[in-house]
Structure 1
Amino acid sequence: MYKKTILLVDDEPNTRRGITKTLESWSEGRFSILSAENGREALDYAKQYRIHLLVTDISMPEMDGLELLRSLKAEQQSLVAVVLSAYSEFDYAQEALRLGVVNYLLKPASKRMLIEAVEEALQIEEERTKVKTITRIADARLMDVQEKTLAAGPVKQAMHYIDQHIEHPLSLKEVAEHVHLNPNYFSMLFKEQANMTFSEYVTRARLQEAKSLLIKTNLSIEEVAERVGYSTSKYFIKIFKEFEGITPSKYKKVK
């Protein structure tokens, strides 16, 4: 599993070193800790790495913390942020909250307060990531069909069988035999109850599993294709692009 990245931004060298040391000690190698001395340098990091948590000072030369947050938001960076500030003015805090900051700490913050704020922010980031992942993976039509199809019966049994054997060829004849129905009757019944053909259901189920593997694993496109029942990656890529509008490799790179 890759490490999540925490980026600290503070123009005061001693503060930056102290907080970095605190975070590295707390992290025990679980997270990558980066530090930048201003907003410009932080933006450069954001272009090179996926930043999961930003811990930033407000008052900095060249680009302050709020400007940095606005720039990251404009670039659609889906990170969470904790703000450090020597200022307690309401306007600062209010603007920070509008920009999605999950905690606002006044300097000097104790190690305990800093770590608690970081842990809380990472929990929020984890939950947001889960929701985003589910949203990206889920095929709305497939989910609707699975929810609305009768709780019991041959079509529901067939769906379960397909989902459990997604890596296999899965012919209509094979699945019909599994639920003890004539293939022609099974095909008609499936389309009537699922409001989609057997073939479309199998394709959507394969692609939903493929999206999950692309996001959650480091498997190659060829390996993903094989895991979801496609004999060639070329055909898998063609079908994926037809349904998703982009290739599997580009889908995998989307943050």
Structure 2
Amino acid sequence: MYKLLIVDDEPQILEGMKRTLDWGEYGFHQIETSETKEDAIAKSVELLPDIAIFDVCIGPDLGYEIIHQLNELRLPTQYIIMSGYSEFEYAQAAIRCGVKDYLLKPVERSKLQKVIEKIIVEDLQGNLNGISRKDNTTDPILGIPYEELSKLTNRILLMVKAEYAQNITLKSVAERFRMNSTYLGQLFLKETHMKFSEYLMAYRMLQAKERILATNEKISSIAQSVGYPNLNYFYTHFQGYYGMSPSDLRK
């Protein structure tokens, strides 16, 4: 029923945003992404999205300036800006363009959920009947509501969801937080009762299982897409985690 456009010049962010919410449950059955200003404008005109989420910087271009250009075309679109910057000037510029909200990256699931729900009800005259809050507010691996976890842990979980297909490690996450990896790992373990590597593997296994059951993709392609360039390594982890091979699961 609804159409969504996500604009960011980082492919891993685009993939992460597509998985942050169960968009289909909210009625978004068409989701497009763009990595450049030109493509974003072209797809906006063609798609006429109900909601468009722009990063504040798209390569050399500014997201709110692109939104300003689209506003002149009077598209029936509600805009959200996301940014790794908290400077007030960016927020001010976004507000002047009439964006619905300004979210800091990594975007917290609960905050995005509230903004989307508000737009659906207030601007799209839709309703939230039949939407399961559990799927959107509880981590699929831990089974714990996100609101019961610390902000730091939630940010780590978001990084995993956005970058699990990449070579993400506890060390690389710790470097981005400017923290000692051993200390960060201890904090994560204390709160989740899982090592970071265990959580990452579990999330990759979950994504692999869903793709095996929902698509006819080759197992080798699925393994690659969830962060396993070594197929034998993937088979070993999958068999150990689920007690069956990927091909057995698909039967």
Give the TM-score normalised by the residue count of structure 1: 0.46
Tell which structure's C-alpha radius of gyration is larger. Answer: 1
Give the TM-score normalised by the residue count of structure 2: 0.46
